[in-house]
Amino acid sequence: MRDPKLKSNCVTQGTQAAPARSLFRALGMTDEEMERPLIGVVSSYNEIVPGHMNLDKITDAVKAGIREAGGTPFMFPAIAVCDGIAMGHNGMKYSLVTRDLIADSTEAMAIAHAFDGLVMIPNCDKNVPGLLMAAARVNVPTVVVSGGPMLAGRVEGKKTSLSSMFEAVGAYNAGRISEDKLYEYECMTCPTCGSCSGMYTANSMNCLTEVLGMGLRGNGTVPAVYSERIRLAKHAGMAVMDLIEKDIRPRDIMTEKAFRNAMTMDMALGCSTNSMLHLPAIAHECDVVLDTSIANEISAKTPNLCHLAPAGPTYMEDLNAAGGIYAVMKEIDKLGLLDTDLITVTGRTVAENIADAENTNPEVIRTVDNPYSATGGIAVLRGTLAPDTGIVKQSAVSEKMRVHEGPAKVFDSEEEAQAAINDGRIEPGDVVVIRYVGPKGGPGMPEMLHPTSAIMGMGLGDSVALITDGRFSGATRGACVGHVCPEAAAGGPIGLVEDGDRILVDIPNLKLDLLVPEEVLEERRKNFVPKEPAINTGYLRRYAKQVAPSCRGAVLE
């Protein structure tokens, strides 16, 4: 007998539902299919994003798993932007903003069609948080299964990833490699479908989905081209039916304690700085306040156990072979830093999930008594330049640049900064400041991988810092501090910086200071009028008016 608590009863049961049933019949549905729970399968499949080109196969596998477990699946789409393709031009302003489009459209589709459960299939940067935000809003039993990471490329026998490609461009511009070598990088760096092969934003968020309890074991690490990924997708389809039976919902899973677990593992894994944007936004939809200021408290007691690209020479395939996310969680749990009593989409607790995990390669996953560093991968800096926040991936900063003081070279757009770097106008010791690229000023807080990679590729990584109210790709390494808040467009101090001003970046002491006397800054404030957003039409105009500061996750208000 059909469960009277199923949401889809309103479109499948009784006389009043006859018109809806007639439309289901127009789809070719049978009476038997309408008697089963209706499951929405949100697929981010498209033919432009390499991380999504395989999601048609993942979608088919999920649907097979749902049918196997007694449900009726319906696929509907979610959009996706490839940040690597959008990088360095106006397209990048449309990346972060898709997170809310994805959340809004998924919420609308799920509620409008009265689905009893959802399986979400993202893979790249904004799709993962966007779909998790929607899961919290809709709050029906939901499982997330990603498309999986790309395998690493190989150039001259060494593994490479997308960050290697961007840095190769910088090396070519500096005359350090030939055009033929650049072409070799172009052809060999991204060898398969999947989310880019390092611990960049997409893989960071897919791994943290596993930590939050919203994805099955392997969600973050099983490579896209492995048949194991197809089996995982089938099990995700089966798992959502079990969650419906047990009435376990996203808000039962994504609790305050689960978010603290996620932030703890963020530090252990050395995730992208973008996690500090996405975790608060997902938590916001769960009515959980996740203040990024706790990141330093968590980092202080959480060792960094993984140095995946761009921080080190290992890749997602290596993490997967070493035991995956559960193995890292089990290492961190030795210190008692995780709450392991929390329920997950497996129907079991965190403790039950990680009980049989094994770390098979202590160089890829360091043990807690031999970490890469005693503190976590991300630090939140504050000071006169960043009264609220400045985020840095400290695990990807060389020892030489953990404390740096130098003169500012100020640019009001990424394009201006990139031109200066390419022209050789950035010198050792400089602090490059890129402003008016925050959530409001960008608008859309575009990622900037071109300038950071150019600095590294030109051999300036140990002598030049970069500060911005925008954000960086997870592929960024070096002394790059983003998310400076308040942003210039909101009247923040970063808008007052002038060429030649001294700036101090002090990561050990969590400081980011503009070394200019207060009376001078006060005089500058009298004449300061923030610039208008670079694009002030269409969706970006509405976004700029509604978006909250990056320190609050850049959620829409």
What residues act catalytically?
Answer: 473
Output the CA angle 152-318-402, nearest 5 degrees.
85
Distance, in Å, from the CA atom of 175 to the CA atom of 137, rounded to the nearest integer, reads 52
Indicate the pairing of strand 389-392 with strand 480-485.
antiparallel
- In one-letter notation, the amino acid at residue 366 is R
Residues 6+ apart with CB under 8 A from 438: 445, 469, 470, 484, 485, 487, 488, 489, 490, 549, 550
Distance, in Å, from the CA atom of 324 to the CA atom of 327, rounded to the nearest integer, reads 6
Residues 6+ apart with CB under 8 A from 30: none
Nearest CA to 431 out of 406, 449, 398 is that of: 406
What does 340-407 look like in DSSP terms, one character per residue? ---B-TTSSBHHHHHTT-----TTTS--TTS-SBSS-S-EEEBSSS-SSEEEE-GGGS-GGGSEEEEE
Cβ atoms of 433 and 494 within 8 Å: the answer is yes
**What DSSP element (H or E) covers 484?**
strand 480-485
Phi, psi of 6 (to 5 degrees): -65, 135
As given in the structure block, the two tokens for residue 415 are 């394009």
